Every structure is written in C-alpha cells, then in structure tokens.
Structure 1
Amino acid sequence: MKKYILSVLSIAFLGLTSCTEDIMDDINKDNQHPAPENVSAALQLTDAIMATGFSTVSGDYAFYLSSLNEQEIGIGNNQLMRAELRNSSEWAASTTFNNVWNATYGNLMNIRQMIDKINTGTQGNAGKYDLLGMAQVLEALNFGVLTDMHGDIPYSEALLGQENLQPKLDAQKDVYAGILKTLEEAISNLEKGKDLESAGNQDIAFKNDNEQWMATAYALKARYLIHQLAVTEDRNALLTEVKAAAGKAVELGFKGFMIKEFNGVTCDNPWSAYLWSRYYIASSKTVADLMGSDDPRFTYYTYETGESYTPGDETVAQVADGSLAFPEWYDLGTQPLHLFSVSELYFILAEAKLRLNEDATSEFQKAVTASISEILGWCEDDSDASAYVNSLGTPTLKTLFEQKYIAQCTDEQVETYNDLRRLKAMGESYVVLTNPYNTQGGVNRYPERLPYGNSSVLSNPNISSVYGDGYYIYTEKTWINGGK
C-alpha cells in the first residue's frame, strides 16, 4: 500500500514539475498583444513622437531643470522644494531621473525596431524611406537629450535586449559623431522617400509633410553642431556649418517640431498636467526681471499679478497650496508641446552669424517674435509685439542669450541647461543665476550633469562604477562642456 501511494505521489510530482516548466516557459511571453515583429513600423511612429515629447523633452528632466535654470521656482514642500534648495542627495540620487532614463531608452527600443523593420523589409516595410528618415530623426533627438544630460551613455551596445544586458558607456564625443551621422542618413532617406506617405495618419507632428521632417533634421544638425562650440578646434569652420544647416531648415520652411493633437483631439500638455496634479512651480524673479514690465510676456509669466519669487527662498519653496503665481500658459492645457521650436532655430542661426561678425538682426527679431507671438496667441491676446521687438535694437550675444533664456522658459529648459553649461565652458556668462544654494560651504552644488538612472546603476557594472555615490555630478563636466 505504501509503495502504491509513493508511486502515485511520484507521478503527481512529475506532472506538477512538467506543468511548472511549461508555465515558466510562457511566463515572460505577452499573449495579449501582437509581437513587435508583427506590427507595422508606421504603427509605432505615434508612440515614438509622443514619448519623445511627453517623457524625454518635457518630463522629469525639464521639470527639475526649470528650477536649476531659475526659469521657474521649485515649490511644494517635496521633491521640487528639495531641488530648489539644491539638496545634494535629491540631485545626485540615481532614483531622481530613473523614470525618464528608462522611458527614453524604452522609446529608443521602439524607434530602433522601426528602423530594423524597414532596413530588413519585414512585414511589408521595405522601401519606406520616408518613415525610416522620421525614425532616424527621433533616434538622434532622444540620444541627443540623453548624452547632453548624462555625458557618456550606452550607445553602440545599447538597445540589443537579451543580447547585451550590460552595455558599455560610449564617450560623448563618439555619441555625438553617431548622432550627426544618423541625421545625415535621415536627410538622405527623407529625400529618397519624399513622394511617399508611408506614415499614414500616424504622423501626429507633420501629417506626412516630408519637407518638415527634413527641416527638423537640419535644425537638429545645427543644434548638435553648435553644442560642440566650446571644444572645437576651429570655431569659425563649425559656425559656418551651423549657419548652413540652420539656413537649410529655414529654406525648407521649418514650422516647429511640435505635438498639438492626437487624431484630432487636443492633448493635455504635460506641463499643465504636472502643474494641476502637484503645483510644484512658481514664477521666478530671474525671468521676470529680465523681461521687465514692457515685455508682452510679462503679464502672462506672472499670471497677471506682477508677482515673482526669489530663487532659493526657503519660505516660498515650502508653499504647497497652489497660491503662488505661475506662468499662465501652464494653466491652459491646450498649448502645443515643443520638441524643437521655430524660436530656437532662429536663435541658433543668429548666434552663428553674430560669432561670425555678421548682421543677425533679422534672425534675432524673428526668434523673439516667434516666442512672443506664440504666448500671446495661446492667451488670445492680439497685441502687436513689433514695438517691443524693435526696442531691443541690434543684438549682442548678451541680449540674444537673455531673450533665448526667456523664450525657453515655456518648455525648452533642457536646451537652456545646455546653453548655460556651454557658455560657462567658453568663459562667457550672459544670464546670472542667483540661487544662493548653488554653492554651499564653498562647494559647488550646481550639477555639471545629471545622474544615471537607478535601474542601470543597480544592474550594469559599467555604469555603477562611474556613478559611485552620485556626487560626481558636481565635479565632472561632460565633454561638450569642457570635460573628458
């Protein structure tokens, strides 16, 4: 009898083991959605654009940097209060930017799948050169933000999935070379596919306007060239390249790379969603003072109160009830989200011309006008901005960077951070930051870069060895800003 029972238990155990093995074989399979290889590349484009805008360009990077740049004040008696008071642990923690680190690499995986499908011609994607160019533009932009924020990043060995779970860090100089090469390939593919409309209704940025995608590629080329101005050996040669790329974007009629709506429905702007859910930002005195009351944007930047707040004010930083003035445009929710604005393009072109000792008045005025006109339009204000723009006179580098700083306090804080560090590396300073906590006890507490994401710090020794305790962010500059 005992032998019979043992036999039955043995059979049952073997059956259970077999069942468990079957379950383990399937546990990591997503049976609710089609496999990525079975999805057309075009159907991945909308998500690629949305994720670029909502996570990478106007997500945690921009929210935190708005405080660091003093374009807004961090408040709320929580994370942004600690950011405002330059809490060293808040800025250096690998958890602070983990979500956007993961989201950006996740989006890049989606984009790389698009590229691979078109290159291999799987699932009917062969010959979709226009779509390939779009994906390459988005890849360049996402990798550009990552390397600008963190310096050396996983690049050549990234996005390989199970093939390489611990990719090496590539030097920022090499990442930049790769980004510019990708943009050249994008331009070539967009030209080759100029008569195609492969994206269908998935192109929420330009609705299959191939020339606008090409203009965006040239605009990005100008951006990533001028970022290298502090470390180039021949500045005039580089500036000539910048001028040519930006000029080509203008020639193609660049209208701005933006997200306005999704399938005819206006999207809630991420800045608005952020404000409504947390009330973590208020108007900065640094911006308000640069504007002055004559600036048509001043009224809306201070929400028609004229009030703004001093960076680093502990009392202000602790306010958590939404009672402080903040930029009125964040309360709209319907304003478009910039991935690359018309204003930025003209500021880049104006800078290149100024540094080449050429007249940049027209480009400067177009840059400022684009910024003011957008904000007045959002707020249904039909005032004429021309008198104010003309009053700024012939631009100098100081007035140019002051106006660029003001223009980018809407949703382009990432690029302002890049500008401030680049100018510092060049020995130039046009916007004076006043937060007293930027230096504490004689020690710098203004990050030279942002820390890597926690997921990679914990799982990738190539990254954890560089991260250490995170305090490297205060001492080690990125390559484009004069570091290694």
Structure 2
Amino acid sequence: MKNIKIVLTGFIGLFLFQSCSEDKMDEINTNKNNPLTVPTRLVITDVITATAFDVTGSDYSFYAGVYSELNAGVFGQLYDAQNRDGQPQLASTYNNNWNSSYRQLSTLKGIISKCSVGGAESGNYTTLGIAQILYAYNLAVLTDLFGDIPNSEALRPKEILQPKLDKQEDVYKEIFKTLNDGISNLEKTTTYPSLGVQDLIYAGNAAKWKKAANGLLARYTMRLSLKKADYPSVINYVDASFASANEELKLVSNFIPNPYSRFETDRSYLAVSKSFYDRVNANGPLDARADGYFTKKAGVVKTFNNSILNEVNAVKIYSISALISDKNPIYLLSYHELLFLKAEAQARLGQDLNALNTLKLAIKAAYLKEQVVRFTSAQADAYIATIPVLTGNDLLKRIMVEKQISFYENEGIEAYNDVRRLKAMNNADLLPLVNPKPLFFPKRFGYGTSDVSTNPKVKAAFGDGSYVYSEDVWWAGGTR
C-alpha cells in the first residue's frame, strides 16, 4: 500500500506539474502586442486615418478630379482615364479603394456593435455616435461612386460569402438613419472617458461631431435634389453645422501626408487642365487664384489641353498645382462647401439676395481655407468686390463655378458628384465639360476586381464594364 501511495502521489504531482506548465505555456504563447480584443478608442484612430487617406483623398479623388476636369491626367492610368482609354471600365481601376471602403465599413461596424446595447462597451455613446457618422460617410462615398452596392448582406463572411447588391435608394435611407442615430447618441451622457488624442479630428468633442453630421445631412439632402428637392432642409442643416473653418471635418496631422501631394510628388500623373485654368482665369485679374493656384513653366502656366484627344502624355512638362504640400489637410467636409450648398439652396428657392450674400461668404471661406499656401483676406475682399449683382440662372452658375474652383486640388469626389447631379437636373450648362468624348463620360465607377471575380451577383451587374458610360446612378436618374 505504501508503494501504491508513493506511485499515486507521483502521478498527481506529475499531473499538477503538467497542468501548471500548460497554463504557463498558454501565457507565454500569448502575443500581448496582438490582443484578441482592442478597445474601440484605439481602433477609431486607425479608421479615421484610413478613411481620410485611403477613401477620401486617394484614387477615388484622383479619378473623380479628372472626370470633373478639376485636374488633367497626363501620364499612366490617369492619362488613360483622361482619354477614356480602358481605365474607366476596368474592374481593376478602383479595386484598391473598393477594398479599402469595405475594410473601413467592417471596422466601423465592429465598433458600433461593441458600443451598442449588449456589446462589451455598451454605453460608450460618444464613440458610438462618431462611428455611426463615419460609417454613414464611408457608405455614402461608396454608393455615390458605384451606385447599387453589396450592403445589407455584406460584411457577414461567416454567413454570406456572395452578398446581393442593394439598391442605392435603400442605401441612402440607411445613410440618413445612421447619421441621425449618430446625432442622438452624441447627445447622450456617457461614463466612458473622452477619446482625446485618439480622435484625430475633433479630440472626442461630441458637439463638433454633431455639427459634422448636420453638414453631411446638408450635403446628402442636396444630393437627392432630383428625387426630392428639399432646399429649406439643406439651409437648416447648414445652419446647424460649422460656424467657421475651425470646425471643419478634416484630418490635419504631421504624421499623415496629404495623399494628393504624395501622389503628385511620387508619380506626377496629374497636371493643370486647360478648362479649369480657363474657368479660374475668366474671373479677371483680381482673382488671385489665377496666379497663385498653378506653377509656371518659363514664366507662364502651361496647361494640358483636355479638349483634344491624345495631348502629349509626359511628366514634368505641364504646370501643376502650386498649393501642393504633404501638410495640407485632407478635407472630408469643408466649411466652404457648406456655404456653397446654402447659397445654391437659397438661389433655387428664389432668395437671390440671400444667395448672393452667402456666395460671397463662401468665396471668402474658400480663399482662406487651411493649406500651406494661403491667400489673404484682402485678396479675397478685392475679388469679391468685382462680383456684380446676379440673379436667376446667372447667380446659380456663379455659385457652381465658384464651388468647383474651391474644390481644387483634391476635393475631387464632390466636384464629380456635382457634375453628375447638375447633368441629371438639366443644369449641365452650369459646369460645362470640354472632354472631346462626351459619350464616354463615366457616369459611375466600376466595381472592384475582388468582387467581380468572386461574386456572381456583382459580376453580372458589371458585365464588360461598359455600363459605366450608360447607366446613371439612382440619384442622377438611373435605376441602379
């Protein structure tokens, strides 16, 4: 019996030793720098950065800027896009940004779930509201450019591998609901600490995020003008939004370079389009932007003639933006855009005097917008003094022309959205384009390769890609 006890004691000791060893090994094998769960305050920093750099400021904006003639594509893929040579209808053209958009939506969906009722951070209302606003913003960029998109069945890889396409009309209903939900959550009291420096835009200031949400509601309400004109609401949303440029929805960081600057410095694929230069120059010599916006070659602005096909494609021979800097902000929603929205709404309501006054405020805000190369208040005032009393269509045209000028260099997405919206409203004359292939104006972006090649529903909708020239998005009068 004594020997048996000794043996049993040995086994028990060996078992306990093995158990403790496994626990210790589990601890050793845990990578503390790669946790399974991350506080949402840390995740929000990454998604703000990626939204600004990858979604707002990169390829989407570069291509949209070329299509709206804010810039000219002078080399590589952008030259092909300029000449409508393949790029607009290829699934590979926007694939990187297509994937990035869905990555941001997936990340934001995770934050929203975690901060909602039943989530690990239930009651974290400020972070929840911010995530909802960013979610609505990313969703709007995606559907504005692509039309019908995978949405209700998307971002559920364990359940649905090949999600259906949702109608843009339904996507827009979700955008408005999500923005309003975000505002409601930002108005609630939370016990969670402020995001502080983790929020690279507003440092966790809920009031400023609410203003941004109202500004986005103004933008998207105007976007749907063909379907349901609601100009009083546009004005009300603007009035509830930014009071100055200090409150803009923009990313300013010494560690995150402006993507337009990086792209132009690294690739030199963009240059000054003749039509845009002519548009600015038509304002007369007191518009300081005609001289200050563009670099010079041998003392003159050498433009890329975008009214002809196959202009010489080469880098370094054309003038480029003189505003370029890695330190320039990345604008998701600017103060000047909101003022132009308000001016347009007032003009469409027949409030010409109010619209003219708001137009002047918008021009001044555009002149003084934050960038490394700045214009002065005196320069803005000198130019504004040249604007005559305008009414009716002349006033509306001036508003839209000035708005497009204000979007230079890289608020290209909104410049492109305006061109398509005006075309749909039979106002194409307000922002005429000169590209010699008008029948090949891209009415939308084509779905990304990653889904065209793996999802039969997206592949069927994509076809050979030529639909980008013939199918308007829903808010521009199309069916998808």
Asked if residue 450 in structure 1 is aligned to residue 445 in structure 2, the reply is yes
1:311-356 CA-to-partner distances (Å, cap 9, x unmatched) read 1555644112x232101112x2111110111111111111111111
Q: Per the alignment, in what secondary structure is the counterpart of residue 205 of structure 1?
A: coil
Q: Distance in 2 between matches of 1:317 and 1:249?
A: 45
Q: Which amino acid aligns with 2:280?
A: M
For residues 244 and 118 of structure 2, the distance between their equivalents in structure 1, rounded to whole angstroms, comes to: 30
Deviation at 1:32, TM superposition (A): 8.4
1:260 maps to a residue whose letter is V
Q: Does 1:278 align with 2:267?
A: yes
Among 317, 328, 331, the alignment partner of 1:338 is: 331
Determine if contact 1:130/1:197 at 8 Å carries over to the other structure.
no
CA contact (8 A) 1:96 1:453 kept: yes
* TM-score normalised per structure 1: 0.86
Q: Deviations over 1:36-73 (max 9, x none)?
A: 5x101111111111111111111111111221111111
Alignment match, 1:212: 208
- Counterparts of 1:338 and 1:152 in 2: how far apart (Å)? 25
How far apart, in 2, do the equivalents of 1:313 and 1:280 lie? 18
> Corresponding residue for 1:10?
none
Provide Cα deviations, 1:218-266, integer angstroms capped at 9, x if missing partner: 000111111110122xx3xx111211111111469872111111xxx35
List gaps (5 residues or longer) in structure 1.
Answer: 1-29, 439-443
Structure 1 residue 380: Cα displacement: 4.8
Please name the residue that 1:114 is paired with: 111
Match of 2:373 among 379, 387, 401: 379
Pairs within 5 Å for 1:122-141: 122-123=119-120, 125-141=121-137
**Equivalent-residue separation in structure 2 for 1:138 and 1:187 (angstroms):** 12
Matched, 1:364 2:359: yes
TM-fit CA distance, 1:120 = 4.3
> Aligned residue for 1:401?
400
**Hey, what does 2:61 align to over in structure 1?**
62
CA distance in 2, matches of 1:447, 1:389: 34
The answer to whether the Cα contact below 8 Å between 1:68 and 1:84 also exists between their aligned partners in 2 is: yes
CA contact (8 A) 1:296 1:372 kept: no
The question of whether the paired residues in 1 share the 8 Å contact of 2:245 and 2:365 is answered with: no
User: 1:226 touches 1:242 (CA, 8 Å); kept in 2?
Assistant: yes
Do 2:117 and 2:123's aligned partners in 1 also have CA atoms closer than 8 Å? no
How far 1:35 sits from its partner (Å)? 5.1
Q: 1:84 aligns with which of 68, 71, 82?
A: 82
Structure 2 equivalent of residue 268 of structure 1: 257
**Shift of residue 392, structure 1, vs aligned partner:** 2.0
Q: Map of 1:214-233 to 2, 5 A cutoff?
A: 214-232=210-228
2:303 is aligned with 1:297: no
Distance change >3 Å, CA 102–CA 317, structure 1 → 2: farther
Q: Give the Cα–Cα distance (whole angstroms) in 2 for the partners of residues 266 and 350 of structure 1.
A: 35
Check if 1:246 corresponds to 2:241. Answer: no
2:88 touches 2:442 (CA, 8 Å); kept in 1?
yes
Question: Compared with structure 1, are the counterparts of its residues 33 and 208 closer, same or farther at alpha carbon in structure 2 (3 Å cutoff)?
Answer: same
The 1:43/1:389 distance shift into structure 2, 3 A limit, reads: same
Q: Is structure 2 residue 185 aligned with structure 1 residue 189? A: yes
Check conservation: 1:128, 1:198, Cα contact below 8 A: no
The equivalent of 2:42 in structure 1 is: 43
Q: Report the Cα offset of residue 394 of structure 1.
A: 4.0
The CA deviation string for residues 377-418 of structure 1, in whole angstroms up to 9 with x for no partner, is: 622554531120232234511000000111112221111111
TM-score (norm 2): 0.86
Partner Cα distance (1:217, 1:329) in 2? 28
Point out the more displaced range, 180-189 or 245-254.
245-254
Partner of 1:102: 99
Residue 410 of structure 2: SS of its match in structure 1? Answer: coil
Partner of 1:165: 161
C-alpha distance after superposition, 1:77-131 (max 9, x if no partner) = x2111111111x21100000000000110111111111011114544x2211111
8 Å CA contact 2:245–2:335 kept in 1: the answer is: no
- Tell me the residue number matched to 1:73: 72
Q: Which residue of 2 aligns with 1:5?
A: none
1:306 Cα offset (Å)? 3.0
Question: Which structure 2 residues correspond to residues 145-156 of structure 1 after superposition, within 5 A?
Answer: 145-156=141-152
Looking at CA atoms only, which structure, 1 or 2, has the larger radius of gyration? 2
SS of the equivalent of 1:432 reads coil
Describe the shift of the 1:213–1:381 C-alpha distance in structure 2 as closer, same or farther (beyond 3 A). Answer: same
CA distance in structure 2 between the aligned counterparts of 1:393 and 1:127, rounded to whole angstroms: 54
Partner residue in 2 for 1:258: 250
8 Å contact from structure 1 (residues 111, 139) kept in 2: yes
Q: Which residue is 2:21 aligned to?
A: none
Residue 352 of structure 1 pairs with residue 345 of structure 2 = yes
Q: Describe the shift of the 1:147–1:368 C-alpha distance in structure 2 as closer, same or farther (beyond 3 A).
A: same
Q: Is the partner of 1:258 in helix, strand or coil?
A: strand
Mapped to 2, the partners of 1:394 and 1:156 lie a distance apart of 49
Structure 1 Cα separation of the partners of residues 67 and 323 of structure 2: 20
Deviation, 1:200, is: 2.9
Kept in 1: contact 2:270–2:320 (CA 8 A): yes
Q: Name the SS of the counterpart of 2:187 in structure 1.
A: helix
Percent of aligned positions with the same letter in both sequences?
A: 33
Give, in angstroms, the shift of residue 301 of structure 1: 2.1
Could you tell me how far apart the structure 2 residues matched to 1:449 and 1:280 are? Answer: 21
Q: Distance in 1 between matches of 2:169 and 2:373?
A: 42
Aligned partners of 1:132 and 1:189 also within 8 Å: yes
| Conservation of the 8 A alpha-carbon contact between 1:225 and 1:242 | yes
- Between the aligned partners of 1:202 and 1:476, the Cα distance in structure 2 is 41
Deviation at 1:167, TM superposition (A): 1.0
Which residue identity does 2:83 align to in structure 1? L
RMSD, aligned CA: 2.2
Q: Secondary structure at the match of 1:370?
A: helix
